């Protein structure tokens, strides 16, 4: 009986890791790959912006400047990079990049079209 419980616990643990929700995965990717420059709060790091010689708004992923762009534009920049922003197409599939864009959209209330 005890071993059964252990087995169930192990299987559920395995499933929880094997099937992470997409949103959770995008957030994990963000924290791993993007937070160093764009900040844990996603508003960009002003000191970084200064160092990269870009306007702080260019790195604020929650601000109007970035959120005002289309999904295609944002996915394009994540894939191909832009200035000091690295390119991620070698490390992230197109779907992963789309999920990241969705994740970024989820950070702020979206205006209804
Ligand atoms: C080495 C620092 C760095 C890392 C790491 C980084 N970025 Fe950036 N990112 C930048 C800079 C700098 C800009 C501003 C580029 C510009 O406008 O010249 C930027 C801009 C952006 C923009 C706005 C693009 C636009 O056209 O306005 C998005 C979206 C973005 N980054 C997403 C991400 C995502 C998602 C990740 C992780 C997968 C990431 N960034 C990782 C430095 C970084």
Q: Which pLDDT tens digit goes with each residue over 61-107?
A: 999 999 999 999 999 999 999 999 999 999 999 999 999 999 999 99
59 Cα to the center of ligand 1, angstroms: 6
Parse the chain into domains and list their residue ranges: 21-105
What are residue 59's phi and psi, to 5 degrees? -105, -5
Residue 112's pLDDT is 67
DSSP structure class, residue 8: H
The model's confidence at residue 1, banded by pLDDT at 50, 70 and 90, is low
- Would you report the helix, strand and coil content of the chain in percent, each value rounded to 5? 65, 0, 35
> pLDDT tens-digit profile of 27-62?
999 999 999 999 999 999 888 999 999 999 999 999
Residues 6+ apart with CB under 8 A from 59: 37, 38, 44, 45, 48, 49, 52
45 Cα to the center of ligand 1, angstroms: 11
pLDDT at 20 over 60: no
Residues 6+ apart with CB under 8 A from 73: none
18 Cα to the center of ligand 1, angstroms: 29
Which residues, listed in sequence order, are joined to residue 85 by a DSSP beta bridge? 82
Domain at 21-105, CATH class: mainly alpha
pTM of the model: 0.84
């Amino acid at each position: 009986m005890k071993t059964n419980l252990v087995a169930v616990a192990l299987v559920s643990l395995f499933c929880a890791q094997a099937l992470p929700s997409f949103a959770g995965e995008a957030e994990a990717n963000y924290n791993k790959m993007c937070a160093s420059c764009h900040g844990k709060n996603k508003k960009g790091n002003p000191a970084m912006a200064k160092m990269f010689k870009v306007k702080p708004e260019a790195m604020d992923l929650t601000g109007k400047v970035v959120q005002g762009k289309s999904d295609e534009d944002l996915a394009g920049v994540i894939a191909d990079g832009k200035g000091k922003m690295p390119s991620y197409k070698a490390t992230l599939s197109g779907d992963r990049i789309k999920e990241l864009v969705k994740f970024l959209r989820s950070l702020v209330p979206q205006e209804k079209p």
